[in-house]
Structure 1
Amino acid sequence: MSSMSEDQVQTADHGLADYAAAVEWITGLVAFGIRPGLKRMELMMERLGHPERRLKFIHVAGTNGKGSTCAYLTRVLVQNGYDTGTFTSPYIEKYTNRIQYNGRDIPEEDLLRLSRRLKPLVEEIAATELGSPTMFEVSTVLALLYFATVSYPDYVVWETGLGGRLDSTNVVTPVLSIITNVGHDHMEILGDTLGQVAAEKAGIIKAGVPVITAVEQPEVLAVIEQAAKAKNASLYAMGRQFRFEPVSESVGRQAFRWEGPFRSYEDMAVGLNGYHQLKNASVALMALEVLRQYNALVLEDEDVQAGFVSAKWPGRLELVSEAPRVLLDGAHNPEGAETLAQALRGDTFRRNKLHFMMGMLSTKNHTGYLRHILPLVDTLILTEPDVPKKQDAGSLAELVRSLLPEAGVSPEIVVERDWKKALSLLIDKTGPEDLAVVSGTLYLISDVRTWMIYKTDSEKGW
């Protein structure tokens, strides 16, 4: 392969006239699908001078809770004076949400410039037997270039996209690995059993690099223990090396006690809703304590607390309207639905009636999801996200009706394929003492959230 000089790359626009064109090019690569494997990533790293070797990563994998854990880590590190890069997916409002520095999106001009640099390399690789890099691979490389050549953070909070072992983020060697949990998601790609899924996520474990996990299922934890032992990596598991105890709960604040191997916190709190956020915060706290112990991270207790309380993660048990009360939650698999149901059964979201709107991708386990949700709802509005892989709302309604005898309930069921009309219907039905919930794929949550807050459509970037 021939390559252009840096000066040539900087002055050529490579068909990318502006930021919108750059995002259109990147998201257009979704046509190449999900293709696990690291050969394209490794080649791009080699051709770009290995930007990944210049950075300190906290690598976060797991079925649920990755984003919230990343949000906690980012806020606490920034609060304590560390410049922090964050790479997460999918985004909620805008493509640039994926790549952040100190909680702020990558500037559009930086994304455009780096895209122009990267596009010729992507096209060269596309012409080889390796085939075109995917949308997620290109997004990952853009993040690495931004952090390693533009913003230079002290730490990068680095979320996997799918699985771990063959995920494009796994070209890095982190200072710390985190596996939040393992559940039933992406099993069509990662494996038929939770053990197989766990083995894929454990693929982020590197030689001698500490690992933190909230995994609780014994057979799943055994897989992670085995992987950590094989790599001589210290493992910190919730319930063994660290634990938490809830103290109090209200909308926008949950207090808890935390105990770890190096110290304890008697009075910690988070601003995110749901019991599961205490688990995510506990994992993040263990991560910070390991970095304090082994990487000389300097943390002040009041700044740690301030970081946890101020951390935000859109679309997860997020109350976006008070009159009527509208709660958004991106639960899209059985474990996410169980977590949502647990929150709805608690005191925080008391209501007269529950009106529930959902839209799904066709690749998910809807039966497991619905078994947790159906017993709670008075009205169920089935809609469709504005994405190619959407689940047909009519067939979802058939599944719902088949599960009603088992659930022992008879909610009102409405099929409205247009999500904006479905949202209007949901809001109209929700009285002052009721609660409206929008749940399902994050693509739906993104559209609904952007529409409700800004009255505009979200960017699309599947």
Structure 2
Amino acid sequence: MFTSYADALDWIHSRLKLGIKPGLRRMEWMMERLGHPERNIKSIHVGGTNGKGSTVSYMRAVLQEAGYQVGTFTSPYIEQFNERISVNGVPITNEEMVTLANQIKPLVEELEQTDLGSPTEFEVITAMSFYYFGKLNPVDFVLYEVGLGGRFDSTNIIHPVLSVITTIGLDHMAILGDTIEQISFEKAGIIKSGVPIIAGVQQEEAIEVIAKTANQKMARLYLVNREFSVLNCQSTAEGEFFTYQSERTTYEDLFITMKGSHQVLNASLAVKAIEYLNTYLSVQVDEVHIRAGLEKMYWIGRFEKIQDKPTVIIDGAHNREGIRELVKTVNVHLVNQPITVIFSALEDKPLDEMVTQLDEIAESIIYTSFDFPRATSAEKLYSMQPLEKAKAVEDFKEAIDEELTNIDHVIVITGSLYFISQVRQYLKEINKKENM
């Protein structure tokens, strides 16, 4: 039995060495032993390549404005591990985490002795979330973010009231496949029989796969630019204005403080989800709640300005699609400003393509690294893209310290979300010391 939070967390993290093990049988075994807590949860399932966390946060913020208790399960974390399981945006307590670990650990030890083998870290934390929301702390809705793929993701044992697929991109190709069609097939695995699906995908090949799956499962498909759309987008220094339009309603001049056209898409998916809940599940969310929730939503690590003089922006653009959206956002919101990019990512990403895109906006690029098992070294990044305006600094803290002395540029720090988590913590420590 764990008596401290540190011991419980160490045990959970020790399972990272098991890597990724797609499949649902271990989850089903644990749920059977726990009395199927996942069946007590009214859930919304969110999958896709990018935008899952933001879409979940928009939905949570709007439902919360309307007075609902909303649980979320997201990954990875930025500030603290507990935020992966939250209620109304507040992470569960250390004491609750210890209780959950003590509940799941005996099952894990028993499961390890079977032919199914040891559950991974993600499977453990997913099982903990099911027990928390299904047994310990029931709420009105729980928004579940898929970890990887969809079809064999640990979260895919739930039967939600609604499913959402945000976007499709070429990521995790070693596991999900190397074409849009193959990846779309895996993402579409969250579509359940008779459960409606809202999708923000725009590639024809992705739409074809998702529409085919939805038809086979007799699941109503609500597709962006077909059943609902975004109009009159306008970027300002404060954020984005847009109009949401569907066959049922029109909301003019909605506003979000999160910057970028991709955030407008994420917000529109959330609005469509709320519209569905209002129409078919007797949820009471008014226009005032939608407007307030969208405006108040704030998702750290996504084009987040940490400080001024110099301006420092961090963005968890962890794949080629994320970098593409970051470049578009910089070109709109940081026009004609000199940009220094500090970049690090995981070794299984298309690093050369990501750096090539960053080259479009960067006056200078610093390759760096961070403390994580799959992090790429700065020298490897430089060897792949030895640009004249680039250099390698292995210690990201050293790279940041050096660039903070120059107030005449904007520092954009981007790459892996695990990298952004460590960077954000370091920058907060710097700012705290300066303000003492």
TM-score range, shorter chain: over 0.9
What is the aligned partner in structure 2 of residue 436 from structure 1?
411
Q: Does 1:290 align with 2:276?
A: yes
What is the aligned partner in structure 2 of residue 251 from structure 1?
237
Query: Are the equivalent residues in 2 in contact too, given 1:246–1:257 (CA < 8 A)?
Result: yes
1:350 Cα deviation after fit = 3.1
| Ranges in structure 1 where 5+ consecutive residues have no aligned partner | 1-12, 405-409, 458-462
> Structure 1: how far apart are the matches of 2:429 and 2:114?
43
Query: Are the equivalent residues in 2 in contact too, given 1:182–1:220 (CA < 8 A)?
Result: yes
> Structure 2: how far apart are the matches of 1:69 and 1:176?
13
> Structure 2: how far apart are the matches of 1:436 and 1:300?
40
Query: Are the equivalent residues in 1 in contact too, given 2:43–2:143 (CA < 8 A)?
Result: yes
Aligned residues: 432
TM-score by length of 2: 0.97
Of residues 58, 70, 81, the one that matches 1:95 is 81
Query: Are the equivalent residues in 2 in contact too, given 1:357–1:381 (CA < 8 A)?
Result: yes
AA matched with 1:301 = E
TM-score by length of 1: 0.91
Q: Does 1:32 align with 2:18?
A: yes
Distance change in 2, residues 1:456/1:166 (3 Å): farther
| Ranges in structure 2 where 5+ consecutive residues have no aligned partner | none
1:166 Cα deviation after fit = 0.1
What is the aligned partner in structure 1 of residue 393 from structure 2?
416
What is the aligned partner in structure 2 of residue 188 from structure 1?
174
> Structure 2: how far apart are the matches of 1:312 and 1:294?
28
1:246 Cα deviation after fit = 3.7
Q: Does 1:303 align with 2:280?
A: no
Moved over 4 A (4+): none
For the aligned residues, what is the CA RMSD? Answer: 1.4
> Structure 2: how far apart are the matches of 1:414 and 1:370?
13
Residues 110-165 of structure 1, C-alpha deviations (whole Å, 9 max, x = no match): 11011111101101101111111100000101111111122211000100000000
> Structure 1: how far apart are the matches of 2:360 and 2:154?
39
Distance change in 2, residues 1:148/1:456 (3 Å): farther
Q: The residue matched to 2:412 in structure 1 has which SS? A: strand
> Structure 1: how far apart are the matches of 2:43 and 2:402?
45
Q: Does 1:381 align with 2:366?
A: yes
> Structure 2: how far apart are the matches of 1:261 and 1:172?
29
Query: Are the equivalent residues in 2 in contact too, given 1:385–1:441 (CA < 8 A)?
Result: no
Q: The residue matched to 1:313 in structure 2 has which SS? A: coil
Q: Does 1:44 align with 2:30?
A: yes
Q: The residue matched to 1:428 in structure 2 has which SS? A: coil
Q: Does 1:237 align with 2:223?
A: yes
> Structure 2: how far apart are the matches of 1:181 and 1:425?
37
1:248 Cα deviation after fit = 2.7
Residues 15-50 of structure 1, C-alpha deviations (whole Å, 9 max, x = no match): x22011111101111111100000000000100000
> Structure 2: how far apart are the matches of 1:28 and 1:442?
20
What is the aligned partner in structure 1 of residue 202 from structure 2?
216
AA matched with 1:400 = Q
Q: The residue matched to 1:397 in structure 2 has which SS? A: helix
Distance change in 2, residues 1:89/1:55 (3 Å): same
Q: Does 1:397 align with 2:376?
A: no
What is the aligned partner in structure 1 of residue 52 from structure 2?
66
Query: Are the equivalent residues in 1 in contact too, given 2:170–2:178 (CA < 8 A)?
Result: no
> Structure 1: how far apart are the matches of 2:48 and 2:403?
32
Aligned 1:4-403 pairs, distance under 5 A: 13=1, 16-346=2-332, 348-401=333-386
1:455 Cα deviation after fit = 4.7
Distance change in 2, residues 1:310/1:454 (3 Å): farther
1:175 Cα deviation after fit = 0.3
> Structure 1: how far apart are the matches of 2:404 and 2:224?
40
Q: The residue matched to 2:385 in structure 1 has which SS? A: helix
> Structure 1: how far apart are the matches of 2:326 and 2:212?
31
AA matched with 2:270 = A
- Percent identity among equivalent residues? 41
1:59 Cα deviation after fit = 0.2
AA matched with 1:391 = T
AA matched with 1:421 = E
